[in-house]
Structure 1
Amino acid sequence: MSSVGISKYVIKSSQGNLQQTLNSIKNENIKISSKNIPAVMETITAPYFLFEDEVKDNQHSIYAELKELVSQLVCELDETQRKSTAIIIGTSIIDWYLVDAIEATLYSEPKKEYNSKKNSIDSYAKELSKEFGLNNFTMTINTACTSSANALLEASNLINASLFENVIVLGIEVFSQIMSRGFNAMQLLSQENQKPFDKECDGMVLGEGFAGVLLSKKDTLWSLEGGANCSNSLNITAASQSGDEFAEVMNLALKNTQLRAEDILALKTHGTSTNSNDLAEINAIAKVYDKEIVFTSLKPYVGHTLGACGVLELSLFMACIDDGFIPKTLSCTNPIMENYIPINAHQQCNSGIFMCNYFGFGGNNTSLIIKKESL
C-alpha cells in the first residue's frame, strides 16, 4: 500500500471552525449543550455537542455546509485538476426521506406531514461534483462510526490505482432523533460528560460535525500511509473485552504499511467512554504496544461525531500536531488499566508517525496510519 498526500483539511465542530476548535482544545474551554431525546417511558435531557447555529433544514443546511468545505478544499485546483478529483462522503446518517417517513408515522409526539422527496445522502456528492466541476465519480460510505475513516481508505485506493489525481473525503454528522433514541435504548449515553478509559465512565456524548480532507498524489508534509479495515466482532454492538478484534485491525494496519509498533509515536484512540468499548480498546493497545505508547482521545472535546469522526478527528489531530502538541485526554482520573493511561497533559510534538483508531457497530473496525515529515 503506497502513501498518498494530505493536501488540505477543514472542519466545523460544535466548538466552531478549525482554528476555534483548536483554541478550545488548547485553552480547555469546551462548550457543550444538551438535547431532549424522547425515550420509551419519558423524554430525557442528555449532554450533546451541538453546532452553535442549529441545522434547522437538514436538506438545505447540510448541503450549504458541505459546499463551504469543498470550496476551501478545491480553491487552488485548476479546471483540469478538478476534472480528476472525485468525492467520497462518509456518514452514519440514514437517507433523510426514510428518517422523515419513520418519524412521521412511528412516534406519538406531534407528527409532521410527510412528503417523500426521495433524496439520498449520495445526492449531495453528485450535486457538489457538478457545482465545482469535479469528476462525476462519487461514492457514499455508511459503516457507522468508521464511515469516513473507510472513505479515506477507499480514496487512497482510488489514487493508488491511478484513477484520480485527487479525492475529496467528507464526513457528515448532525443530530438525529433515531440515532439518539437507539443509543439511549442501549444505555450508552452519558448523563454527565465523556470519561475515556476511566472506571467511572457512564457512556458517550454525541456530537455534530462536518469535516473534509483533500488527498492527492502530490508529496506533502502530511501523508496517509495506509491502514486496514476488518469486520469482526463478538456481537452486533460490541467487540470482545479481550480486545482481540481491535488488536487484529491495528496489527494489520502496521503490516499493510510495513511499519512496526515501535515506529508509531502516538495513538489517537477511538475512546468512546463506554465500558465495553474502552476496555476492549485498552486491552488491544496492551497487546500491540508496550506501556510507553502515548495515546489520547479527542471525543471529550467534540463529542462522538459517529460517521464524521474518521475525517474530523484525523483533521483535528493533525491540526494539533501542526500547532506543536498532542492533546491530552480530558476527564480520565481513575484509569481502567494502570500501565496504560492516556496522557493527562498536552505533549509537545511537531512530526512523526501516528495511528488513528475507529471502531464501529457490527464489528467494522478501522485503523489508519498518518505521517508528518519534520521540517
Structure 2
Amino acid sequence: MIFVQDFSVICSLGKNKIEARKNLNNGASPGLRARTDLLLDQEEAYFGCCDGDLPEIPEVFSEMKSRNNQLLLSCYLAERENFQKVLKQYDPSKVAVILGTSTSGSSEADKYIRDCLEGELSDFQGTQQELGSPALFLSSYLNLSGPAFCISTACTSSTRTFISAAKLLNAGIIDAAIVGGVDTLARMPINGFNALKALSLQVCRPFANDRSGITIGEGAALFLLTREIGPLQLLGFGETSDGHHMTAPRADGLCAAAAMKEALERARLKPENIGYVNLHGTGTQLNDTSEMNAMQQVFADKVPCSSTKNLTGHTLGAAGAVEAAILCLLLTEEAPSIPAQGEALSNYQPSDIKTGLVIDATLLSKKPMMTNNFAFGGNNASLIIGVSNA
C-alpha cells in the first residue's frame, strides 16, 4: 500500500495549501487574470498566474536556474518542515524525486534567442531548459541520492509520477518518493495552442455548449509518498494509450474509460464507491466530448464530477499533480464541497448533465476520489486517492 504523508501546492488558487483551500471553497482564483504579454499578437487573454516573489535559486545551482525551478522551490518551502520530518527517517539513497513537466526552462531559452537576435550577451545555459532539470535540482537541493528523473508526457506528466513511484516503492527499490509536477507560463506552448485554435481568450468553460478552448495556467504540487501509514492513500491508478491522433482524443472515449476502469480494479472499488471525479475538462470541443463519453461508460450519472481548470487554468505537465492536490484538499476538509462549474444549467449539453456534472457547489462525503488526465498522443491516466483506513 502507498500512502501520502504530506503535500504542497501553489497555483492561481494561492501560494500554499491554506490559501488554495480557502479560495477553492469560495470558488475564487486570485491569480486568474488577463495578460497581453504572452501572445505574439499581444492580444488579451486570461491565464492562471502564480503572482508574487519567488525564492532565488542558490548560486551553486545556477546552471538549473529557471522560473520553473523557482516555483518548484517555493512549493517545497511552503511545507519544508513537514517534509523534512518524514525524509530524515530514510536513507537519502532510497528517496526518489520524480516530477512531471513540459515547459521546464523554455522561457529562459526563449529570452536567450531574443537576446541573440538583438545582439545582446546572455548567461543562458542549456541545462536551464533540460526537461530533467526540476527533478535533478530538487534532489540535489535536498542532498538526496536516489533516483531522480522527470516524466514529460504532456498533460499526464505529473499524474504518471505517482504511478512510477508506486511501482518503485512496491518493488522495494526505494523507501520514499517526492512526486508531483511543475510548469510555468511560457510563450512557446501558449502560442502553439493558439495556433491550434485551442486557446480561449476568456476564462475557459469546461463542458459548456459555448466553450471555446483552454485557459493555460502555471503551478506546482509535491507529494511525499511512502509505504508507511499516512493520512491519505493512493488507492489505485490506471494508464492506457489509444494512439489515435497526435493532438485529438479518441471521440468514443474508450481508452480513457479503460484507464478509469483499471484504476478502479486496482483499488478494488466499484464506480459507486467513488465520491467525486475531478475531470480533465480542458474546455475544448474534442476533449470534453471524449471525456463525457468515457464517463458515461464507467459511471453513468451516479457519481458527481467537475473540472477545476476554470479556477487553475490548464497547468499542462503539472495538471495531474495540481488536481491531485485539489483532491487531497477536499479529503482533508471537515465538510468538503465539490467544486462546481459555476454556470447556469442551460449552458451545458444534456449528455454532460447525465454524467453527474456538478453545476452548483455540493457537499461531499469523504469517499475515495478520482482524478483524470488525458494528453496529446492519446495518453490517458487516472488516480484514486482516499482517506487512509489502515
Asked if TM exceeds 0.5, the reply is yes
RMSD, aligned CA: 2.6
| Counterpart Cα distance in 1 of 2:125 and 2:372 | 36
| Alpha-carbon contact 1:300-1:330 (below 8 Å) kept | yes
Residue number in structure 2 paired with 1:328: 339
The alpha-carbon distance between structure 1 residues 167 and 363, as it changes in their structure 2 partners (threshold 3 A), is same
Taking structure 2 as the reference length, what is the TM-score of the superposition?
A: 0.86
Percent sequence identity over aligned pairs: 25
| Alpha-carbon contact 1:194-1:331 (below 8 Å) kept | no
Report the alpha carbon displacement of residue 34 of structure 1 after superposing the two structures with TM.
2.0
1:65-80 map, 5 Å = 65-71=71-77, 72=80, 74-77=83-86, 79-80=88-89
1:309-328 map, 5 Å = 309-323=319-333, 324-328=335-339
Report the alpha carbon displacement of residue 54 of structure 1 after superposing the two structures with TM.
6.4
Q: What SS does structure 1 have at the residue aligned with 2:370? A: strand
| Alpha-carbon contact 1:96-1:121 (below 8 Å) kept | no
Residue number in structure 2 paired with 1:208: 218
Report the alpha carbon displacement of residue 45 of structure 1 after superposing the two structures with TM.
1.5
Report the alpha carbon displacement of residue 103 of structure 1 after superposing the two structures with TM.
4.2
* Residue 118, structure 1, aligned to residue 140, structure 2: no
Residue number in structure 2 paired with 1:360: 375
1:1-375 map, 5 Å = 3-16=1-14, 17-31=16-30, 32-36=32-36, 37-39=38-40, 42-53=41-52, 59-71=65-77, 72=80, 74-77=83-86, 79-83=88-92, 84-96=94-106, 99-100=109-110, 103-104=113-114, 113=121, 116-119=124-127, 120-323=130-333, 324-333=335-344, 334-336=347-349, 337=351, 338-373=353-388
Please identify runs of 4+ aligned residues in structure 1 that moved more than 6 A: 54-58
| Counterpart Cα distance in 1 of 2:24 and 2:84 | 28
| Counterpart Cα distance in 2 of 1:154 and 1:358 | 16
| Alpha-carbon contact 1:82-1:133 (below 8 Å) kept | no
| Counterpart Cα distance in 2 of 1:78 and 1:22 | 25
| Counterpart Cα distance in 1 of 2:119 and 2:186 | 16
Aligned residues: 369
Report the alpha carbon displacement of residue 113 of structure 1 after superposing the two structures with TM.
4.5
The alpha-carbon distance between structure 1 residues 124 and 271, as it changes in their structure 2 partners (threshold 3 A), is closer
| Counterpart Cα distance in 2 of 1:300 and 1:11 | 17
For residues 210-248 of structure 1, the C-alpha deviation after alignment (integer angstroms, 9 at most, x for no partner) is 110001111123111121111214311111222222112
| Counterpart Cα distance in 1 of 2:359 and 2:241 | 32
Runs of at least 5 residues in structure 2 that lack an aligned partner in the other structure: 57-63
In structure 1, give the amino acid aligned to 2:84: C
Runs of at least 5 residues in structure 1 that lack an aligned partner in the other structure: none
The alpha-carbon distance between structure 1 residues 12 and 61, as it changes in their structure 2 partners (threshold 3 A), is same
| Counterpart Cα distance in 2 of 1:283 and 1:112 | 52
Report the alpha carbon displacement of residue 112 of structure 1 after superposing the two structures with TM.
5.7
| Counterpart Cα distance in 2 of 1:327 and 1:68 | 27
Taking structure 1 as the reference length, what is the TM-score of the superposition?
A: 0.90
The alpha-carbon distance between structure 1 residues 143 and 135, as it changes in their structure 2 partners (threshold 3 A), is same
| Counterpart Cα distance in 1 of 2:300 and 2:343 | 20
Report the alpha carbon displacement of residue 313 of structure 1 after superposing the two structures with TM.
0.9
| Alpha-carbon contact 2:46-2:201 (below 8 Å) kept | yes
| Counterpart Cα distance in 2 of 1:88 and 1:121 | 12
Report the alpha carbon displacement of residue 55 of structure 1 after superposing the two structures with TM.
6.4
Report the alpha carbon displacement of residue 341 of structure 1 after superposing the two structures with TM.
4.2
| Counterpart Cα distance in 2 of 1:207 and 1:47 | 9
The alpha-carbon distance between structure 1 residues 80 and 55, as it changes in their structure 2 partners (threshold 3 A), is closer
For residues 124-178 of structure 1, the C-alpha deviation after alignment (integer angstroms, 9 at most, x for no partner) is 3233323323233201110101000011110111111111111001311111100
The alpha-carbon distance between structure 1 residues 22 and 97, as it changes in their structure 2 partners (threshold 3 A), is closer
| Alpha-carbon contact 1:104-1:113 (below 8 Å) kept | no
The alpha-carbon distance between structure 1 residues 307 and 60, as it changes in their structure 2 partners (threshold 3 A), is closer
